[in-house]
Chains A and B, each alone.
Chain A
């Protein structure tokens, strides 16, 4: 137990150390950093404009009203922000270190390979997502006139953390194909599409597509379910299901990652 606590402390220190490095390197190009903030905000605005145009013609979509849909958007923006602040940027660029052989340097570090692969780079401009997400959350409550209870907030916070594990595990499994096929830059477009999918409830889909977006591409667990904790349409039982799924998919992703490394040839280094 003592060893586990000291391990957690060590990795937390390492994370903040890496965060500091990333902060310094991003601020080396201040103009670019400010432009990146604008860029992220534009991206979120575009998504909201699309939603507003659709809702200007209809009262609800697949049973979700406009305020509820805004809430789902807000929840997914916050989920994305946490991802970009932690693992997303590193996983996004995994194919580059595999291609140029610099993955060797990660393998030689005296820390968990999965940790250093996932947390070596963070995109700090994505703080804009938190700002827009929180503002949107408040706006959706204002529109609907319904404020969640403490219990619902608690469920959402635990839910969003577990959803993060699912999101990470799924993305990791996608990007580990880099070890097999070397060039996987276009998988990033799949990940971008996943971001867009995350903003819509899985109730939008029917039949096989719904099954696909629940168990194969776990959109339900990443975004719909956590948002449902806030709308009050999911309970503790849902959280248990999410926890079970998160545990399973993380173990699977970890296994896939360490198995895939065996295909790494270090050819370009």
Chain B
């Protein structure tokens, strides 16, 4: 446990070495969020409406996506690809620590720094959109927490799976990018999934990605989701268990074929 905690702390130190880089990430995410926010503002100004959403919850949704962005990032998948491709992963294999426990700790370290540094941008966004702190009190935080934790775990599993795919595929960068873009859309980062046509919503219900952004945020905002609360938690947990099994299988298979070629 102490070694995992050490990985977590080292990761925080690492992230703080390049403070400007974090600042740039916040700018990038904020610019991206501005698009959705301005589209919503123009739509409602013209007297139209997006689905059954009122303007304020939808603006809040895009602002919260910004917060989720800081926690659910894909950079580590590329780091794993690089470690496998260059042979640097050997350093981990000879140490008495679990590679993916270390990876999860490092991921959470970076995510913590990103989230904390994102807070000023979020507050600025709230001020810009006229959302008062008192409106946060009305959010369903307790119902949100279990979904968020499962969604975050699922996300971390997916990125490690994508990285570990480099064992059999040598270079999986393009695959990661495809997946990342797909997850952005099917997870609800660009737009709430309940705005999609009904047939598309049916398909999206059967995918796990809505548990990463759309479902937790809808629950937080008190908006309708695809599934009832408890069955939804149960299905999300099943997906998480499935992802963990897949990760274990890919890892064991990958290690067997790994040649340590590189550095």
Chain A contacts to B: CB under 8 angstroms: 29, 31-32, 35-36, 38-39, 42-43, 46, 49-50, 53-54, 56-58, 60-62, 125, 177, 181-187, 189-194, 196-197, 200, 204-205, 209, 217
Contacts and interface: CB of A to CB of B under 8 A. Distances in A.
A32 B174 contact: yes
A184 B20 contact: yes
Q: Nearest 3 pairs between A and B by C-beta?
A: A189-B28, A183-B18, A35-B174
A31 B142 CA distance: 46
Nearest to B28: A189
A189 B26 CA distance: 9
Interface in B1-58: 17-18, 20-22, 24-25, 27-29, 31-32, 34-35, 38-39, 42-43, 46, 48-51
B27 A190 contact: yes
A197 B32 CA distance: 7
Contacts of A32: 170-171, 173-174
B20 A177 contact: yes
Contacts of B42: 61-62, 204
Contacts of B27: 190
B31 A35 contact: no
A35 B175 contact: yes
A181 B21 contact: yes
Nearest to A204: B38
Contacts of A43: 177-178, 181
A197 B35 contact: yes
A190 B22 contact: no
B141 interface: no
A49 to B, nearest CB: 6
B185 A50 contact: yes
What band does the interface of chain B fall in when counting residues whose beta carbon is under 8 Å from A? 35 or more
Contacts of B173: 32
A39 B177 contact: yes
Nearest to A61: B42
Contact of B46 (A35, A58, A200): A58
Nearest to A33: B174
Contacts of B34: 197, 205, 209
B184 interface: yes
A162 to B, nearest CB: 23
B20 A54 contact: no
B231 interface: no
B191 interface: yes
10 contacts: A57-B48, A57-B49, A57-B50, A57-B195, A58-B46, A177-B20, A181-B20, A197-B31, A200-B38, A217-B31
B175 A39 contact: yes
Contacts of B43: 54, 57-58, 61
A62 B75 CA distance: 35
B38 to A, nearest CB: 5
Given A125-B174, A177-B20, 6 more contacts: A32-B173, A39-B175, A42-B182, A58-B43, A196-B32, A204-B38
A205 B128 CA distance: 13
Contacts of A183: 17-18, 20-21
Contacts of A190: 24, 27-28, 31
Given A186-B21, A204-B42, A58 B48 contact: yes
Q: Find the residue from B24, B28, B34 having the highest chain A CB count within 10 A.
A: B24
B197 interface: yes
Given A58-B43, A204-B38, A182 B25 contact: no
B121 to A, nearest CB: 13
Contacts of A185: 21, 75
